[in-house]
Structure 1
């Protein structure tokens, strides 16, 4: 993989990634960003919810971010004469750049009071971290399921590269790679892309998973992740599998359509995958995305969320996995997070996990 780092007009880093042996048509991505951009100003802060024991990121400056522009005005397309974009070059394979409207940043304003006004229990901290955008292709009308194995494998390598780089930033505790796909999910730019968040804390999901693993070990001496993977590999909810990976609908799936992808070898994160495991990941991920795309008459909106080990703590207990889920429950019908889910965090599912697995297995992917 060839990595080329450049700077945008406002000083943000942009990194071009090209497959080994490929030569960019326009040289070493040395096209300058000609836009007149103001400096990025990030005033994010963390606020501690003492009742729930969770950090909340307050990023009010993001209200002005770009929202559903016309396709011919997409800021993620390659630049063309008379219309510069976030990517100065006229073509690219995979690109990563710092978000122009970041929730977390290394250059965040550090001058914050110790607590929120009138609430001494609500500790405040600067919103230190980093948020990046990952462009999977220069083709505005493409989608991940249609990338092909070579490009999907390059994206896997990029995720691993950025996970290692962001995990090395002082103060970062967790790196989260994800993709939101579809307007129903809340996507504001339709160009195929994902994001990466480098958090300065452990997210609630990771905290809960680690607590469950430790509780199981203390109660039974067992390894919870290993037990789940072993049981699901031969169970009725398997959707697809290959030499290195298994994809299954979890027994207690929360979402109408939900699949988890686990490597069959325990690894903490994406950088720990070997070449064969990365090849197999690209293959099985495209397979499952294809099933999501063709289950109904139109592709399902989805979130793909990589659950990686924390940077410093709990790594020996972790097992890398991907959550892929959709809120579509039937053609033209969505699962809304209403009173029970949003108010109490108690999910009530509209589908049966075994039925969903059978339906996804039956999908014929072109």
Structure 2
């Protein structure tokens, strides 16, 4: 992998990750951009203890541009973009409209491919491995920043999720605090250890593997299953077989096997509602399953950090081909989820649509 670090015309960092050592990424950003001005502020809810990012400047972010004006495509003659090069493998840059900035953290955009019409599921295993390398490298770098407490790599796909740019991409949020969801996991982990002396993550994965009914994939180095109390209609949790706290700690074997496993899961998600293989430039993008893919990594500097288990949660808000799961009164008002699809049925469906 070749890594090239440069700056955009407004001073934001841009990093290219290329599979070829001879890739030339010296093209400068010639846009006359003004300096980035953000108004990000972190406020704490005194009743819930949650943190909320107030970021009014995001009202001006780019919203559903036509393909010929996509800011994530490579730069073309007369059509400059956030990527000055005329092509790239993977590119990561500081978000121009960040939710978190300065002492309040950092937000980055991860472009998975220069192909505007592709999806992550269309990538080759080598391309997916390069994305994993970029996630890992950025996790290592962001965890070193003094203001960062937790690094979150994720992808939103589909208009139903709220995606405002159609180009295949994800994001990385570097929070200045431990997120509420992670804090709840850590509390459960500590309580279970106090009560039993065992690791709750290890026992959860072992229980799913022993039961087997909710297992979607079980390989030499990864286990994917629909959790017993799944919140979403189709939800898969993917764990490395050897517990590690974050992406930087994955061993070579797990890292090598990940692209095949993850691409298979994504392609199954594109099949669960009868949308064909969901691959290639001629695929019906409207039929592709909308999803969120979220890496859960241990916060920085917490006690017994190695007890946390890195894992990826992949889920969709679509419950049938023409219906979405909305977060209505119980979910939004009380954070009590009601799932219309039994986890065992979801797992069975995800096994049925395995790649032939």
Query: How far apart are residue 316 of structure 1 and its match?
Result: 2.5
| In structure 1, C-alpha distance between the alignment counterparts of 2:258 and 2:16, rounded to whole Å | 22
Which is further off, 206-215 or 279-288?
279-288
Do residues 244 (structure 1) and 221 (structure 2) align? yes
Which is further off, 68-77 or 227-236?
227-236
Q: Deviations over 1:218-249 (max 9, x none)?
A: 12222111100111123210111211000000
Q: Which residue of 1 aligns with 2:18?
A: 18
Matches within 5 A, 1:1-366: 1-19=1-19, 21-24=20-23, 27=24, 29-106=25-102, 128-234=104-210, 235-296=212-273, 297=275, 298-314=287-303, 315-365=305-355
Query: How far apart are residue 282 of structure 1 and its match?
Result: 1.2
| In structure 2, C-alpha distance between the alignment counterparts of 1:365 and 1:35, rounded to whole Å | 44
| In structure 1, C-alpha distance between the alignment counterparts of 2:256 and 2:196, rounded to whole Å | 36
| In structure 2, C-alpha distance between the alignment counterparts of 1:349 and 1:128, rounded to whole Å | 35
Does the residue aligned with 1:284 lie in a helix, a strand or coil?
A: helix
Structure 2, gaps ≥5 residues long: 276-286
Does the residue aligned with 1:286 lie in a helix, a strand or coil?
A: helix
| Root-mean-square deviation over aligned CA pairs | 1.0
Which is further off, 280-289 or 177-186?
280-289
| In structure 1, C-alpha distance between the alignment counterparts of 2:6 and 2:21, rounded to whole Å | 18
| In structure 2, C-alpha distance between the alignment counterparts of 1:354 and 1:43, rounded to whole Å | 45
| In structure 2, C-alpha distance between the alignment counterparts of 1:350 and 1:290, rounded to whole Å | 23
What stretches of structure 1 move > 6 A for 4+ residues in a row?
A: none
| In structure 2, C-alpha distance between the alignment counterparts of 1:91 and 1:274, rounded to whole Å | 31
Which is further off, 74-83 or 215-224?
215-224
| In structure 2, C-alpha distance between the alignment counterparts of 1:280 and 1:231, rounded to whole Å | 23
Query: How far apart are residue 44 of structure 1 and its match?
Result: 0.8
TM-score by length of 2: 0.94
| In structure 2, C-alpha distance between the alignment counterparts of 1:273 and 1:168, rounded to whole Å | 18
| In structure 2, C-alpha distance between the alignment counterparts of 1:260 and 1:157, rounded to whole Å | 20
Q: Deviations over 1:190-245 (max 9, x none)?
A: 00000000000000000000000011111222211110011112321011121100
The answer to whether the 8 Å contact 1:210/1:317 transfers is no
| In structure 1, C-alpha distance between the alignment counterparts of 2:200 and 2:8, rounded to whole Å | 45
Which is further off, 235-244 or 302-311?
235-244
| In structure 2, C-alpha distance between the alignment counterparts of 1:206 and 1:262, rounded to whole Å | 16
| In structure 2, C-alpha distance between the alignment counterparts of 1:171 and 1:330, rounded to whole Å | 42
The answer to whether the 8 Å contact 1:302/1:327 transfers is yes
Q: How many residues align?
A: 342
| In structure 2, C-alpha distance between the alignment counterparts of 1:183 and 1:72, rounded to whole Å | 18
Does the residue aligned with 1:322 lie in a helix, a strand or coil?
A: strand
| In structure 2, C-alpha distance between the alignment counterparts of 1:174 and 1:304, rounded to whole Å | 17
The answer to whether the 8 Å contact 2:264/2:354 transfers is no
Structure 1, gaps ≥5 residues long: 107-126
The answer to whether the 8 Å contact 1:48/1:56 transfers is yes
